[in-house]
Amino acid sequence: MIKTALLFAGQGAQKVGMGRDLTEVYPVAKALFDQANHALGYDLGTLCISGPESDLTRTENAQPAIYLISWVALALLQSRLSAFSFQATAGLSLGEFTALAAAGALSFEDGLKIVRQRGRFMHEACESTQGGMAAIVGLDEASTREVCIATGVTLANLNCPGQIVISGATDPIFAAIQLAQDRGARKAIPLTVAGAYHSPLMASAQPKLAVALAGVPLLPPRVPVIANVTGKPHGSPAEMARLLIDQVTSPVRWEDSIRYLLANGFNRFIELGPGTALSGFMKRIDRSVPVFNVADVPSLEATVLALNSAPEAS
């Protein structure tokens, strides 16, 4: 039996030009771009397609932009495959909101608006602090945790075996990079980001996000949605809101999320949205499991062709 999980991209996947070919070929995509522009009150679609990059990469723009492209990818896949179904969703950081919307826990427009607000709150937190992030390659979680404790930074993303992201104040991050290298990391690389995401330095965003979420109707999801904070399915709408708020300062347990799905019989994954980072993580977690992606016209057509070749699994 085929069990399909949808995976939704997180911040950092954005690039100028994303969605251009989809809107040129598919009226459904153009309609969703127009709907997003109307809901937000500004031209997010043109920002996705034409930039400038400096504006697109701003957190309050990047998050709704990635959400929009991911939603378009899902809508197009569903429009091309009448019998398409999925049994769970998961999303990396902001992608968790897309995953919840895909599962019916919140509407497309509510999700779009909340990630725009979330992005603004996180941008404000970045501006009021001095922080950064770094990727640590080649150290396990226990060793990386020891580096974090010794330098005063925190785990931010546990993406896949051998790749962990740390987050914290600027000087401690550079101290952690040096210590990780001293302890045998193959690479320890500072990331080009606006601040220390998924660390206590983002705490000022949490009460603002709590207020925003209180104004959004949340419903029980139709399929399990894996929470970043726990690596397990969300529960009630109240718990859902709490975990989304906690996620702002907590590590994203992506490897745990995928291993939970694998342990529960999921054997086909589809990454929706710009980039292929999640597909790359999957190959490091379990190379034997098929992963497809939809980000543009060629990848959509390739995925539709592959899924049509196994109609009983759609």
Q: What is the mean pLDDT of residues 4-31?
A: 96
Question: pLDDT for 37-78, tens place per residue?
Answer: 999 999 999 999 999 999 999 999 999 999 999 999 999 999
> What pLDDT is recorded for position 312?
54
> What pLDDT is recorded for position 65?
97
Q: What's the pLDDT band for 310 if we cut at 50, 70, 90?
A: confident
User: What per-residue string of b and e applies to 121-134 under the rule 16 or more CB within 10 Å gives b?
Assistant: bbbbbbeebebbbb
Relative to beta strand 131-137, strand 187-190 is antiparallel
Q: Would the pLDDT of 80 be above 90?
A: yes
Q: What is the mean pLDDT of residues 179-185?
A: 97
Active-site choice (70, 123, 167, 198): 198
> What pLDDT is recorded for position 133?
97
Q: What is the mean pLDDT of residues 122-151?
A: 96
Active-site choice (93, 167, 199, 250): 93
Q: Would the pLDDT of 189 be above 50?
A: yes
Q: Would the pLDDT of 12 be above 50?
A: yes
Q: What is the mean pLDDT of residues 130-156?
A: 96
Mean of all residue pLDDT scores within the chain: 96
User: What residues does each domain of the chain span?
Assistant: 4-127+204-313, 131-190
Q: Would the pLDDT of 313 be above 50?
A: no
Residue 300 and residue 28 in contact, taking contact as beta carbons nearer than 8 Å = no
φ/ψ of residue 159, rounded to 5: -80, -45
Q: Would the pLDDT of 4 be above 80?
A: yes
Q: What is the mean pLDDT of residues 118-124?
A: 97
Q: Does domain 4-127+204-313 have CATH number 3.40.50.9100?
A: no
Q: Would the pLDDT of 236 be above 50?
A: yes
The predicted model scores a pTM of 0.96
> What pLDDT is recorded for position 314?
44
Span 131-190: which CATH code? 3.30.70.250
Q: Would the pLDDT of 311 be above 80?
A: no
> Is 93 designated active site?
yes
Q: Would the pLDDT of 309 be above 90?
A: no
